[in-house]
Amino acid sequence: MSDKLLNNIQASVTVLSKDIQELGKRTAHVEHRMGEYAEAHNDLADHIQALEKQLTSAQLKLSDLEDRSRRQNLRVRGIPESVTQANIPEFLTGFFKSLIPDMPTDMILLDRAHRVAKLKFLPADAARDTLTHLHYYHVKEAILKAARNRTNLPQQYNQLQIYADLSAAALQRQRDFKVITDTLQEHKIPYRWGTWYA
């Protein structure tokens, strides 16, 4: 009986040993595959980071190109809706002339001027902004500079505001730097926006 019991135990141990060896092989195979997956995952993560950098760089360059195409544009806010589309160029020329009276009138040349869709944050009764493209860049810069220090404007122009026409991406980047620019302005430190992708 003891031999029979011993044979049964040996047979069970042999089966168990084979099962353990089989499990060991399968575990080694799984560990090997997991190592391959981890390596592939790390490679993919590195590639994704590189692609994100390339995408960010491309977006910044595209935004810069968009802003360069808008560089001679001005956005004027506050022109009453009673000023018709046909009268907008004449109205804007008068406004710009009052800002920079020393500039010859023939230099204040508007290539185009038109109203644009109302911005979401403006009140419902606010007039739509007007977008204008000036023929000469230096005239546009002179207008922006004069608009910062304007005094003694005719009544019809007092409520008007002038902005550079920037892309949504550039405006967002300016909002991101608002804390810094506010501090610079508070301390009267001059600054200038440059290219974003340098």
Distance of CA 147 to the CA centre of its chain: 26
The whole-angstrom separation of Cα 190 and Cα 105 is 31
The whole-angstrom separation of Cα 114 and Cα 120 is 18
First to last CA, the chain: 89
pLDDT at 5 over 80: no
Give the other-Cβ count within 10 Å of 9's Cβ: 10
Q: For 92-128, what is each residue's pLDDT tens digit? A: 999 999 999 999 989 999 999 999 988 787 777 888 8
- How far CA 81 is from CA of 119, 129, 133, 159, 162, in Å, comes to 15, 10, 20, 13, 17
Phi/psi at 183 (5° precision): -65, -45
When pLDDT is cut at 50, 70 and 90, the band that residue 198 belongs to is: very low
Q: What is the pLDDT of residue 195?
A: 61
- Sequence spans of domains, the chain: 71-165
Give the other-Cβ count within 10 Å of 156's Cβ: 14
Q: What is the pLDDT of residue 180?
A: 92
Q: For 13-47, what is each residue's pLDDT tens digit? A: 888 888 888 888 888 888 888 989 999 999 999 99
Which CATH number does the domain 71-165 belong to among 3.30.70.1820, 3.40.50.980, 3.40.190.10, 3.40.50.300?
Answer: 3.30.70.1820
Q: Is 188 left (phi over 0), alpha (psi -120 to 50) or beta?
A: left
Q: For 166-185, what is each residue's pLDDT tens digit? A: 888 888 888 898 999 999 99
When pLDDT is cut at 50, 70 and 90, the band that residue 193 belongs to is: confident
